[in-house]
Amino acid sequence: MKRVKFVIIGSGVSGLLTANKLLQAGESDFLILEGRDRIGGRVFTNNGIDIGATWFQGHHVYLSQLLKELNIASFNQYSAGKSVLVYNSMAPAHYFKTDSSAPSAQRIVGGSTSLINVLAEKVKDKINYNCKVKQLTEKEDTIVVKTNTNHFIASKVISTIPPKLATALLYEPELPEKLKKVMDRTHTWMSNAIKVGISFKTPFWREKDLSGTVIGQIGPVIELYDHSNANNTEFSLMGFVNEGLRGTSSEKRKSRILSYLETYLGEEIREYTNYIEKDWSKDRCTSCQHLNSVYMSPEYGNKVFNTTYFNNKLLFSGTETSAHYGGYLEGAVYSGLQAAKIIMKETL
């Protein structure tokens, strides 16, 4: 049983940023417990495709500042050319052009995982992989953290597990009723999303003056965008699959997606070099079971998360706890900074 001052649960943006802030303040007596075999949580770049978080905007000030501090570059989402709007399967395709003077959504060079990799650099020795936290027990002035593999004893615990998932842990003593209710109705942002990424040797759509954007609620893909890399050496399309296809077999879903995109972008869609999908609702480190319908609550940043529990030893963090852009990367950054401040103010 290992004893440390701080246990941080989760190696997503929020947990890794808190860890970095502790280290910057001279505190190295901490561990990060991660349930998956990888870091990043809902940030996940696979084969050049951001299969999790992708975009941010200029008003995401804490994230923009962090990227600047870490020397991580960003670039505009590609949107030149005609975009397709599909609102009626019987009607011909409708095209529109994006206003090039409007502020563009930004992407991170190298994929969103670049942020995770840089944040992990200094704290990689602290990360315990495949270490799923099951139970938190208050024992005198410590918390015993029980995982699937081990026990840890910490003076303080910062949990970045999405609140709805965190309700599945065992707590001794039990958490207050009000907190449990809020946690349970706090939808985990994007936990219902199914993403698809398709890579190509050439950006064939650009050659036809198409932006790669295809929008429409009626097809198997509800949003699709150009997802080529920053220096235009790798070409791909990435988007969101219609949730109505969640129960369909992966072969059928792929076949419907390709036929649909062939209609609007051309037969070259079949000449892909790589095809990936991820249904986040099936990932038990992000989503709960039985996701039949999604209840979106306005509970992000509820004030129950401003308080510590277990007599000042347990803090809930992560994007859903953030009153500032909760759900987004920006909320994850904000909560990571706040958690470090709260914990350090009270301990160091």
Return residues touching ligand FAD (CB under 6 A): 9-15, 33-36, 41-43, 52-56, 132-133, 160-162, 165, 189-190, 193, 195, 280, 285-286, 318-319, 327-332
* Closest distance to ligand FAD from the beta carbon of 209 (Å): 26
Nearer Cβ to ligand FAD (285/344): 285
Strand, helix or coil for residue 305 = helix
Nearer Cβ to ligand FAD (54/213): 54
Nearer Cβ to ligand FAD (115/267): 115
Nearer Cβ to ligand FAD (254/324): 324
- Phi-psi domain of 147 (left: phi exceeds 0; alpha: psi -120 through 50; beta: other): beta
Nearer Cβ to ligand FAD (21/42): 42
* Closest distance to ligand FAD from the beta carbon of 268 (Å): 26
Residue 82 CB partners (closer than 8 Å, separation 6+): 95, 96, 97, 209, 210, 211
Q: Are strands 127-128 and 30-33 parallel, antiparallel or unpaired?
A: parallel
* Closest distance to ligand FAD from the beta carbon of 338 (Å): 12
Q: What share of the chain is helix, strand, coil (3-state, %, to 5)?
A: 30, 25, 45
* Closest distance to ligand FAD from the beta carbon of 17 (Å): 8
* Closest distance to ligand FAD from the beta carbon of 221 (Å): 14
Instruction: Give the residue at shortest CB distance from ligand FAD.
Output: 41
What is each CA distance from 89 to 85, 219, 220, 252, in whole angstroms? 11, 8, 11, 19
Q: Which of 115, 168, 157, 204 is nearest to 288 (CA)?
A: 168
Buried/exposed code over 124-149 (b: 16+ C-beta within 10 A; e: otherwise): eebbbeebbbeebbbeeebbbbbbee
* Closest distance to ligand FAD from the beta carbon of 311 (Å): 22
Nearer Cβ to ligand FAD (11/155): 11
